[in-house]
Structure 1
Amino acid sequence: MTSWNKNIYRSLLILSFVGLNAVILWGLGEVWVFWNSGADKASILHTGIEVDDSNQPEIEWAILENQGRPMEKQTLLDIERDYVRSWYVRSVAMASNDSYGLDDYYTDSLRSKLYQVLQLNKANGITLEETTLAHHPVLEFYSTDGTLVVFSDHNVESYREVWQGGEMLHAMREIKSYQVMMLLEDGFWRIRHLVEDKHPSSPITEIRDLGSPQIESIKGLNYYPAQTPWNIFGSGFNEEIIKEDFARIRGMGLNTIRIFVPYEAFGKEKVTEDKQSKLMKVFDMAARMDLKVLVTLFDFYGNYDLTDWTATHRHADTLVKLLKEHPALLGWDIKNEPDLDFDSRGKNKVLAWLEEMICQISKWDRGHPVTIGWSSPQAADLLADKVHFISFHYYDKPNQFQKTYSSLKEKAGNTPILLSEFGISSYSGFWNAFSGSEQEQKVYYTEMTSVLKQQEIPFMFWTLYDFKEVPKEVVGRYPWRRQPQKYFGCVTVEGLEKPSFKVLDQTPVK
């Protein structure tokens, strides 16, 4: 028996030895593969916080006749990468009062100063949430040995919130300039000095004055093709169908459409070329039909966190620069019904993101108006002093509209107002106790258009077509919400005109 136990022990020792060596060999093999696969070696050398590369503030270099050696293109990219990451890591540290990760992006002397700030904030229960939005660095010196670089960073746009005990004490948007020195250590560029430049910076870009935007003549609708609702730019994109639809819209005497750009489907911070191409084709077709287009950005977006701001800016920047010269462009609707996110995301957080996006788009496109598609007239006076015209949705009873509109107009002052969504479903079935009908839809539109015409209110109704399917992401899974949503059109899925079609037809009577 003793001999048998000894054999078992020997076998276990041999197996353990073989297993241990196998693990060691496997680990060495993985390291070899890693170093030879083109992976970012920063992830193994940098031991601190993982950096989110969706953090992409606007950055534009100006290179002077700097002293020292000429700057290599790849080196400049490396400097830019580590410089942008250093700001991100610092913002994470300030938000958590935890120094983890700072070692990777700051040298000893600067780290000690940052540690003092973190300790002071932690002692007072204060946290800072911040992000930089734009950098304009000017290269001034690059050492002969390639280990030191000096540059100034002009007009650094940033947004910061000061929190204490779960309450926001202060929020500010700033533009400052800095003198920066970075050292190359362990293959990475770390900040040695970051000193604020006391010279005045450029003023913060405010919304530009376009005069009174020409929206009073708008008569339009919110557009999706019948077969691809909420997915016009997907795999079912069909130019012929869109052309026919635009001809039908123009034949109704309408002059404007409102379309929606889904944030994630378009590639978030890196808008895909395929989506850009399809969007441009829609605009070209609209221009040929003499239709103006109001673009609603950030459909199905709901984050608003400071850490996500620069990604949304790169998204909007791409689209604005793509379309701002197009003759069909009417203007920019920042977000559809953002007030519905107040409860889940926080009202202040949503409003801060909206206000900053207005500012950014006003900087990129100085020729077109900006608005926000509020879900109700009760919310539509928010940021009224920041937009060029107010845009709101109305789905209540027609006999209450006049009073509601008058109240909003009083709050709006001289800011023009667009009714950018209104309508009623003709659905009649189990989920609404068979209470709807196409005739009731006609009566609704008759009453609404009468008031709109009398008050000369520009409008866009919801929508041209009924839909076979409505994505659950739009109204949820519940059938009593999804079924009525399928029947808001003035044209059936089969292409037949409903009684409401003639009411909404704006062709002048001969």
Structure 2
Amino acid sequence: MKSTYFILLAAMAFAAGACTGEKKKEQPPVDSGRDRWTVQQANDWYQSQPWLVGCNFLPSTASNQLEMWQASSFDTATINRELGWAAGLGMNTVRVYLHDLLYEQDSSGFYQRVDTFLEIASRHKIKPVLVLFDSVWDPFPKPGEQRVPKPHVHNAGWVQSPGKEALLDSTRHPRLQNYVRGTVGHFANDTRILAWDVWNEPENPNKSAYGDVEIPDKATVVLPLLETTFHTARSVNPVQPLTAGVWRDDWSEESKLTPINRLMLDESDVISFHSYDSPEEFEKRVKWLQPLGRPLICTEYMARGNNSTFEGILPIAKAHRVAAINWGLVDGKSQTIYPWDSWKKTYTGEPETWFHDIFRRDGTPYKESEVVFIKKIISEK
């Protein structure tokens, strides 16, 4: 696919930010940045990696991104212990969400904590994918102490970044780009980071949980900001690839792509996608994306109730050398052992079939056979 988008001048966004009266933060030098990687560059990078297998990671003591990273609740002991369990399975990557309010709250402290996290992950030989923005779940994030999630509800404490108010207020958009420029710029040469995931499910309408308070035409609102975010991240010349994952609709040919899907596929250095469906559907979507000629990373899969399992998905991913990052590691405050329908259906205790996650908080597996399988397929040449 040919990109139809042009590099935006990052300096314009920075200048606009100065006009909002917001607190200034030290920024890295601004230039036009690097281009999108060529297909050859992307594949050269991918060939230098092992088969990438990992999980979306949130320590069991945190309910959301803010609680994971804020100084008062940054839990290095739990992070170290639980990343050790991931490494014990043979996992070599994790996908971890950041948040724009962490940068506003205390950018230097935030960077120090990210550095600490990267050091812990590095000791376990794990290279994280860092997610900058996310449009899923609660659209009203607030810094500080986080509310107690409603029991037995899937991701009841998770918050969006940016929130609804920031998305709808264009005067706040320069602040968001300062966060992107500052964060990617600070870690642009850090080889402990595998990749940057620019925006998770940018147009997700969250109908089952927050549909009544969501932005009605979210895709239209997010699209220009998503494009700018790609260019802002690229402006600081990161050595890591940029990506944003297609997650719904038909990607089988260009004529069927929505504007958001076309943008994500056109701007990503390496292609990422989500699939919580059967092995047959997973492989079909892999084949839709293979003609692009770029490395493929599945950044979300594994929902047992949807017939998306380790035993079903990992053999296909390995056969096609698709990186595979499942949702969840340890049953914790995210409550993702409960299915998506827990927003509508009442659960009073642990479901017989866990939706996501692999371990209980004491480190024992939900299913021993699953753990044996994961270790075996990762270790086999």
Q: Taking structure 1 as the reference length, what is the TM-score of the superposition?
A: 0.52
2:58 paired with 1:227: no
Q: Indicate the structure with greater strand content.
A: 1
- Structure 1 pair 382/374, CA: closer, same or farther in 2 (3 Å)? same
C-alpha separation between the residues in 2 aligned to 1:481 and 1:336?
Answer: 27
The alpha-carbon deviation at position 481 of structure 1 amounts to 8.4
2:332 paired with 1:461: no
The alpha-carbon deviation at position 359 of structure 1 amounts to 0.7
- Structure 1 pair 366/326, CA: closer, same or farther in 2 (3 Å)? closer
Question: Equivalent residue for 2:86?
Answer: 249
Aligned residues: 301
Segments of structure 1 that go 5 or more residues without pairing to the other structure are: 1-55, 60-79, 90-133, 137-154, 156-201, 426-435
Does the 8 Å contact 2:331/2:360 carry over to 1?
Answer: yes
Query: Equivalent residues in 2 for 1:457-496 (5 A)?
Result: 457-470=322-335, 478=343, 480=345, 487-496=355-364
- Structure 1 pair 477/318, CA: closer, same or farther in 2 (3 Å)? farther
The alpha-carbon deviation at position 458 of structure 1 amounts to 1.2
Does the 8 Å contact 2:62/2:333 carry over to 1?
Answer: no
The alpha-carbon deviation at position 320 of structure 1 amounts to 1.5
Question: Equivalent residue for 1:397?
Answer: 278
Does the 8 Å contact 2:242/2:268 carry over to 1?
Answer: yes
- Structure 1 pair 372/325, CA: closer, same or farther in 2 (3 Å)? same
- Structure 1 pair 378/501, CA: closer, same or farther in 2 (3 Å)? farther
Q: 1:212 aligns with which of 42, 67, 74?
A: 42
Question: Equivalent residue for 1:420?
Answer: 299
- Tell me which stretches of 4 or more aligned residues in structure 1 moved more than 6 Å: 474-477, 481-486
Question: Equivalent residue for 2:76?
Answer: 239
The alpha-carbon deviation at position 289 of structure 1 amounts to 2.1
Query: Equivalent residues in 2 for 1:376-455 (5 A)?
Result: 376=248, 378=250, 380-410=261-291, 413-425=292-304, 444-455=309-320
C-alpha separation between the residues in 2 aligned to 1:280 and 1:366?
Answer: 16
Does the 8 Å contact 1:290/1:328 carry over to 2?
Answer: no
Amino acid in the other structure paired with 2:177 = H
Amino acid in the other structure paired with 1:503 = F
Query: Equivalent residues in 2 for 1:128-139 (5 A)?
Result: none
Does the 8 Å contact 1:375/1:393 carry over to 2?
Answer: yes
Question: Equivalent residue for 2:228?
Answer: 356
1:320-356 CA distance string (max 9 Å, x none): 1322232211121111111215963442331211111
The alpha-carbon deviation at position 464 of structure 1 amounts to 1.1
Report SS of the residue matched to 1:344: coil
1:137-160 CA distance string (max 9 Å, x none): xxxxxxxxxxxxxxxxxx9xxxxx
Q: Which has the higher contact order (CA 8 A, sep 6+)?
A: 2
Report SS of the residue matched to 1:221: strand
Query: Equivalent residues in 2 for 1:359-374 (5 A)?
Result: 359-374=231-246
Question: Equivalent residue for 1:344?
Answer: 216
Question: Equivalent residue for 1:307?
Answer: 171
Question: Equivalent residue for 1:164?
Answer: none
| CA-based RMSD | 3.6
Amino acid in the other structure paired with 2:58 = Y
Q: Taking structure 2 as the reference length, what is the TM-score of the superposition?
A: 0.68
C-alpha separation between the residues in 1 aligned to 2:362 and 2:94?
Answer: 21
Does the 8 Å contact 1:469/1:486 carry over to 2?
Answer: no
Query: Equivalent residues in 2 for 1:93-108 (5 A)?
Result: none
Question: Equivalent residue for 1:283?
Answer: 118
Segments of structure 2 that go 5 or more residues without pairing to the other structure are: 1-11, 22-26, 135-159, 206-213, 252-260
Greater Rg by CA: 1
Amino acid in the other structure paired with 2:120 = M
Question: Equivalent residue for 2:196?
Answer: 332
Query: Equivalent residues in 2 for 1:132-211 (5 A)?
Result: 207-209=35-37, 211=41
C-alpha separation between the residues in 2 aligned to 1:263 and 1:481?
Answer: 33
The alpha-carbon deviation at position 418 of structure 1 amounts to 0.9
Does the 8 Å contact 1:207/1:386 carry over to 2?
Answer: no
Does the 8 Å contact 2:85/2:363 carry over to 1?
Answer: no
Question: Equivalent residue for 2:138?
Answer: none
C-alpha separation between the residues in 2 aligned to 1:285 and 1:272?
Answer: 20
